[in-house]
Amino acid sequence: MDTSNSPRTTSETTPLVSAGTSKKPKTPLPKLQIGILMTLRLVEPIASMSIFPYINQLIRELGITGGDDAAVGYYAGITESLFFVAQTLTVLRWSRLSDRIGRKPVLLVGLSGTCMSMLCFGLSTTFWGLVVSRCMCGVLNGNVSVLEDYAGRIDRLLRIWLRDLPCFQIMWCIGGFIGPLIGGMLARPQDNWPELFAHPFWSKYPYFLPCAVSACMFVLGFLVVLFFLEEVSFTYYLDDRGGLSQISNMPMRSLLTPTIVIPIANYAMLALLDIALMAILPLFLSTPTYLGGLGFTPSRIGLWMGIYAMANGIFQALFFAKIVDWVGPKRFFCGAVSCFAPIILMFPIMSWLVHARGMVDHAITPTLISQLALTMIWDMAYGTVFMFITASAPTKNVLGTVNGLGQTSASMARVVGPAFATSLFAFSKEHNILNGNAVYVVFIVLAGVLRWLGSQVAR
């Protein structure tokens, strides 16, 4: 029977990018599976983003800083980095395992592990409790690279990835919108709704409610994957003795070529600067004004971060594919990462405004909005770097491994990012280095390094 016209005849060893230049017709998408992936993209950022609005206040309340507000950044950075330490040690193993046993069981483990870790985080009353819960989350969750692998396997053409990427990005941004709102609005519910949360439990565990609500999102994702997600096929080949072996067992050393390494290096540096920005932003917003911050409450921090995430999702959904089509992936990536330096410059500008004019909303708000607008352009660099990594895989049968390598490198960068950024922020403020602005100078220099790396991408 002739199956040459069937999309299912695409071999796992078919190159991801065709050598032809003719325009291909749009391939019908498996809508249910795409919808499931979008659901997972919605719940994944909630765990990480929901803790940002209140993590600095939680550290203060634990009493480990001895009342030194400037030292909060050290402990907050360590807490945020430990997740990525654990993830770095395990994410590639999860990716390789998904090539062997399938994506579905790995996703189920990741969702259930994140759910449990969030509950443990909410019940932690010591710094070490926070450490253990975040490490648990990192060890058990390898879903990011597995999701990218799954999407790459069900998309038959790279063009489809570009066409539907905004859908995945907007779901990630909606999750980024929901997470900070959950963390900011539901933290310390006994203070906001004393009649509903009068039980002593809520005084002992004031941050359990946002963690519990976040955990419920992962229960939803678990059920959706369990009952509706279809597994993608495996590819086997005959070894020298005639037995069946998995082609994913090819040596990883053979994948360490410039074509693959350069996009991964860009992803790692992008992840380093992005997680540093995400750590500095709530720390800057929560830092008292006498130390050069804005002194925002957790609810206000959550509102600002939520507004940004929603606006970012809408912006990417409307403009990402059109801009990349018009400008080209490489030029767009280089332009997007060039926004990081002015984003960082906004922090000392806002500190100066507070010092010169006091905490006046009409002076701070336009600057903060400008910073968030530039951050939306910066964040679109992720879409293109994922395209670079997907296109760098020589065949689909190693796509899981290539994504795992990329995610491992990004996780290593994210290990360094939060602790380095918040510690440098605290050190700059404590010792008044460059009037407390040394942290910003360092990250502007690193932004220049990323801009150079972007120019080395082949396409």
Q: Identify the domain containing residue 266 by its residue range.
A: 31-229+257-455
376 domain residue, yes or no:
yes
Alpha carbons 178 and 103: distance in angstroms, whole number? 26
Distance of CA 266 to the CA centre of its chain: 15
CATH number of the domain at 368, please. Answer: 1.20.1250.20
Q: Minimum mean pLDDT among 61-75, 316-330, 369-383: which range?
A: 61-75
Give the mean model confidence (pLDDT) for residues 55-72.
77
Q: What pTM does this model have?
A: 0.65
Distances (CA, A) of 377 to 69, 405, 412: 32, 26, 24
Give the mean model confidence (pLDDT) for residues 101-129.
88
80 domain residue, yes or no:
yes
The angle, 0 to 180 degrees and rounded to 10, between the axes of the packed helices 143-154 and 399-431 is: 140
Top-confidence residue, 52 or 197: 197
Q: How many domains does the chain have?
A: 1
Distances (CA, A) of 207 to 118, 168, 195: 11, 29, 17
Place of tokens 């495996």: 234
Output the pLDDT for position 161. Answer: 47
Checking DSSP bridges between strand 244-246 and strand 236-238, what pairing results, if any? antiparallel
Find the distance separating the first CA and the last CA of the chain, reported in whole Å: 39
Alpha carbons 225 and 234: distance in angstroms, whole number? 19
pLDDT one-digit tens code per residue, 361-412: 677 888 888 888 898 888 888 878 877 877 776 666 666 677 777 777 887 8
- Are 126 and 175 within 8 A, CB to CB? no
18 domain residue, yes or no:
no
**Considering the chain, what is the average pLDDT of its residues?**
76
Q: Minimum mean pLDDT among 145-154, 223-232, 380-389: which range?
A: 145-154
Name the maximum alpha-carbon separation found in the chain: 78
Top-confidence residue, 54 or 429: 54
319 domain residue, yes or no:
yes
Give the mean model confidence (pLDDT) for residues 254-259.
69
pLDDT one-digit tens code per residue, 159-196: 444 444 556 667 777 787 788 888 888 888 988 888 88
Percent of the chain with pLDDT over 70: 77
Output the pLDDT for position 247. Answer: 42
12 domain residue, yes or no:
no
Strands (E), 187-284: 236-238, 244-246
Q: Minimum mean pLDDT among 44-58, 121-135, 141-155: which range?
A: 141-155
395 domain residue, yes or no:
yes
Look at the alpha carbons of 186, 191, 195, 201 in this order and tell me if their dihedral is positive or negative.
Answer: positive
Output the pLDDT for position 201. Answer: 92
Task: Evaluate if residue 38 carries a pLDDT over 90.
Answer: no
Q: Shortest CA distance to 424 belongs to which of 76, 103, 66, 153?
A: 76
235 domain residue, yes or no:
no
236 domain residue, yes or no:
no
